[in-house]
Amino acid sequence: MSIEEHLESKANILRLHSIRATTRAGSGHPTSCLSCAEIVATLFFKEMNIDPKNIDYIDNDEFVLSKGHAAPILYAALAEIGVIPKEKIPTLREFSSELEGHPVPRVKGIRVATGSLGQGLSIGLGMAYAKKLRDIGRRVYVLLGDGEIAEGSVWEAINLAGRLRLSNLTAILDMNRLGQSGPTILQWDSNAYASRVKAFDWDVFICNGHNIGELVEAFGGAKRSNKPSFIIAKTVKGKGVKFLENVEGMHGRALNEDQLQEALEQVGPKVRKEDFHPTNFIKASIQAGGKTADFSIDTDYELGEMVATRVAYGKALVKLGELNKNIVVLDGDVQNSTYTIYFFEEFPNRSLQCYISEQNMLGAAVGLQTQGFDVFLSTFACFLTRAFDQIRMASYSRADLKIAGSHAGVSIGEDGPSQMGLEDLAMFRSLINSRVLYPCDAVSSEKLTCLMANTDGVSYIRTTRPKTPVIYGNDEEFHVGGSKILRSSESDEVAILAAGVTVHEALEAHAILKQEEINVRVIDCYSVKPLDELTLRDAYEEIGHVVTVEDHYVEGGLGEAVASLGIAPHILAVRTMPHSGKPEELLAEQGIDASGIVRKVKEILG
């Protein structure tokens, strides 16, 4: 039979798997699978250059299912090319199965988690950019739903990919007209989509998404294009099963047994006996690499020297960039505030200006790290909230990301609350398996940045805008889960736990109290997650009174982290509406400066 007949047959095999598996699971999105069966079949059985035996190698073409709810058809395709056993398919959505309701990298052949819509194209952008950096002549295909294209993050990716002229990136729009609650804005208006995407410097191809010939032609055009390419595939939701085709209200509904039987009778006969195998299989050989040996860097500061931790972060990035050629740094147009500018100037080829689009920056970083790069990304701490959903999904992608947020807390001063990171500790602590680091001086900032470079998972470093004095010697060592006891005596009456800018306030408070013959212990909790549980418990049990002080809201910050250990701290934090002013005025207003700490200590000791 012809290649078209072969692929049509394959498409219907994928349909059978999808409707059977979702009915067996009792939930899922069969109609969303049916609309893209020909697209997925054409990609997996003809267009994509992949090595099923070495699917994890990076010299394969990549496929990202941005419309993650169509997971069953992706699992079916992976099974049909032999990446996962076909017997697995019926375990869809079961507790013990890695074939989850939406894709996660637990499944061989899947590199990222999708299911929160509108994130796949950014990830694909990162993958495509990475393959160009590595000079790997493979392509990245991203399958988009027409509902998710309303997400601004998709347009952030379209904008940057057009700018970067990523000719190895192809997006396919499964234009099936129906969202979850009703029709999409543009329904089947291919030309409206085309003019929008073309305006962002992409090549656009329009085709019937159920016609193999037209799909093959569109993919051919995409391969010949010197720009990123966008294929608008007109499809029918529920295609192949008459009572589901283009019917509203059937999104996310599995078929019951009777409906399944009827559906199988309609789809089954369209499956032909296979007479030949896919012709696109290749031999892949390049492993991702990256994740190389531990690095260490030397610092050269004078005690008491005034340096902002954000500046030290920038200096450390350059040192790490020398040692590790896999490091790529992203920034959102604030390089001169986060100080990634040092890296950008030293290593322009491993620096990516993402402009003011934090969601796409996060997604691109996730894509880049799938290709073996060690990715650092930076912006103001407060603007990382813009990408919380992407950060959350990165943790489910088991991504290794090194994120730096600058301008933390009210200590930024005059710019006001819109620029103050006051919820970033809460946000990053809430991620599963995250690490949260918070340096108070230049030495610890450089050492913690280096530590982050050697740490898996999503790690976050919080830097400060104003200069702070260097308090650590250049030979000081730091580790994840550590802390530093900066002041202590045999007769400490209160333990003060601080981090970042408040460490210096705590040291000043210690000096003031000492003159009044009140001894306090001062501990730098530079590792906010995980905390140095042992040291903090010892202090609590020995001293009894603990005060935490942080330039962050109470909720989800250092104080609550300490409290969750069973220690009952007095929490000094930002509690009233922040506003503009001098840093020292704002720290004082919130009672998180030296005199606020002194007041609290005296109140405790009554």
* H-only helix segments in 68-142: 71-80, 120-133
Give 128 or 412: the residue with its C-beta nearer to a copy of itself. Answer: 412
**Is the CB of residue 28 less than 8 Å from the CB of residue 252?**
yes
Least CB distance to a copy of itself at residue 421 (A): 10
Is 358 catalytic? The answer is yes
DSSP state letter for 69: G
SS3 assignment, position 125? helix
By CB atoms closer than 10 A (0-12, 13-18, 19+), residue 432 is exposed
Half-sphere exposure of 114 (CA within 13 A, CB side): 29
Amino acid symbol at 531: L
Residue 100 CB, shortest distance to a copy of itself, in Å, is: 4
257 C-beta neighbours (distance < 10 Å), count: 9
Rounded Cα gap, residues 573 and 555, in angstroms: 9
- 426's enclosing H/E stretch is helix 424-429
Measured from the CB atom, the residue of 56 and 201 that comes closer to a copy of itself is 201
- Nearer of residues 293 and 577 to a copy of itself, judged by Cβ: 577
Q: Which is nearer to a copy of itself, 118 or 278 (CB)?
A: 118
DSSP string, 347-385: -GGGEEE--S-HHHHHHHHHHHHHTT-EEEEEEEGGGGG
27 vs 296 by CB, closer to a copy of itself: 27
Query: Closest approach of Cβ 57 to a copy of itself, in Å?
Result: 25
Shortest gap between Cβ of 84 and a copy of itself (angstroms)? Answer: 16
Strands of the 527-529 sheet, one edge to the other: 351-353, 327-331, 374-380, 401-406, 458-462, 435-437, 527-529
How many other CB atoms are there within 10 angstroms of residue 69's CB atom?
A: 22
For residue 573, give the 3-state DSSP assignment. strand
Answer yes or no: are the C-beta atoms of 501 and 439 closer than 8 Å.
no
Closest by alpha carbon to 342, among 361, 356, 329? 329
The C-alpha R_g of the chain, in whole angstroms, comes to 27
CB nearer a copy of itself, residue 3 or residue 186: 186
Q: Residue 65 and residue 14: Cα distance in Å, rounded?
A: 15
Paired residues of 50 in beta bridges? 281
Smallest gap, in angstroms, from Cβ of residue 107 to a copy of itself? 11
**SS3 assignment, position 520:** strand
Of the residues 47, 62, 214, 358, only one is catalytic, namely: 358
Nearer to a copy of itself, 121 or 513 (CB): 121
Shortest approach of a copy of itself to residue 303 CB, angstroms? 29
Omega of the bond prior to 278 within 30 degrees of 0, cis? Answer: no
Sheet of strand 62-65, all strands in order from the earlier edge strand to the far edge: 62-65, 140-145, 169-175, 229-234, 203-208
Q: How far is the CB of 517 from a copy of itself (least distance, A)?
A: 28
Nearer to a copy of itself, 155 or 478 (CB): 155
**DSSP codes, 206-225:** EEETT-HHHHHHHHHHHHH-
Q: Which is nearer to a copy of itself, 139 or 545 (CB)?
A: 545
Minimum distance of a copy of itself from residue 272's CB (angstroms)? 33
In contact, 107 and 78? CB cutoff 8 Å: yes
The set of residues, in sequence order, having a beta carbon less than 8 Å from that of 322 and lying 6+ positions away, is none
CB of 522 to a copy of itself, least distance (A): 22
Residue whose CB is less far from a copy of itself, 566 or 606:
566
Contact 545, 496 (CB under 8 A): no
Q: How far is the CB of 561 from a copy of itself (least distance, A)?
A: 7
Catalytic residues: 358
